Amino acid sequence: METLNDTLFLWINGAAPSAAALLLGRFLANDLIYLFPLYLALNWLRADTAGREALLQAAVSAAIAMLLSWAISKAWFHPRPFVVGLGHLHMHHAPTASFPSNHLSFVWAVCAGLALHPARRTAALILALIGLPIAWARIYMGVHFPLDMAGAMLTALAAAGIGLPLRGTLVPALRRCLEPAYRLIFAWPIRLGWARA
């Protein structure tokens, strides 16, 4: 398995990238992830009760995924490619555990959490596909192995599964806690009809 992992990594990792490829790689690897919390925040402004609970389900799944990812990396430390001298590193990164990818665990947990709600499944699929170039870029830039991404997918699915029973308890309670503060902070946009109460 390690041989396959190394081979796939060397096939994707940028050997002699152009300046444009490095710029794109850095953007995809580090910055595109911000689209996911932005999606959750902006959709909250126009969502109804069910929609807000779907967004919170995604956030809960992402939080569980981050906890699982941390626990896995502590239980089984797998070094990053540059730590073992494999391939080319094109951006700075601390020599933390590579498996599973935190970025993709978060991204795909958001998607898996959204997919639990039928009305958000199309959005979940689109966002999951947006995660693919992030996964590619993190390998291309030399900070992850391909199997780190497979691990992230499994971590995300496990997180959504763990979060599923919270759909009828914690998630509605979170919504009820957050909505008064939201209505207070966004009172002016709500009055103007720009945001939903």
> Which of 2, 14, 8, 1 has the alpha carbon at shortest distance from 141?
14
Domain boundaries, the chain: 31-186
- 93, 114, 121: which is closest to 159 by C-alpha? 114
CA pair distance 156, 173, nearest whole angstrom: 23
Return mean pLDDT, the chain.
96
Give the separation between CA 73 and CA 96, rounded to whole angstroms: 9
Instruction: Compute the residue count for the chain.
Output: 197
Show the tokens assigned to 168: 């009828």
Per-residue model confidence (pLDDT) at position 1: 85
Closest by Cα among 101, 112, 107 to 147: 101
Write out pLDDT tens, residues 102-157.
999 999 999 999 999 998 999 999 999 999 999 999 999 999 999 999 999 999 99
pLDDT of residue 108: 98
Contact present, 88 and 13 (Cβ < 8 Å): yes
pLDDT digits over 10-39, tens only? 999 999 899 999 999 999 999 999 999 999
Report CA 35 to chain centroid distance, whole Å.
10
- φ/ψ region of 138 (left if φ > 0, alpha if ψ in -120 to 50, else beta) reads alpha
Query: How sure is the predictor about 2, in pLDDT bands with cuts at 50, 70 and 90?
Result: confident
Predicted confidence (pLDDT) at residue 61 exceeds the cutoff of 90: yes
- Mean pLDDT value across residues 92-111: 97
- pLDDT at residue 52 greater than cutoff 90: yes
pTM of the model: 0.93
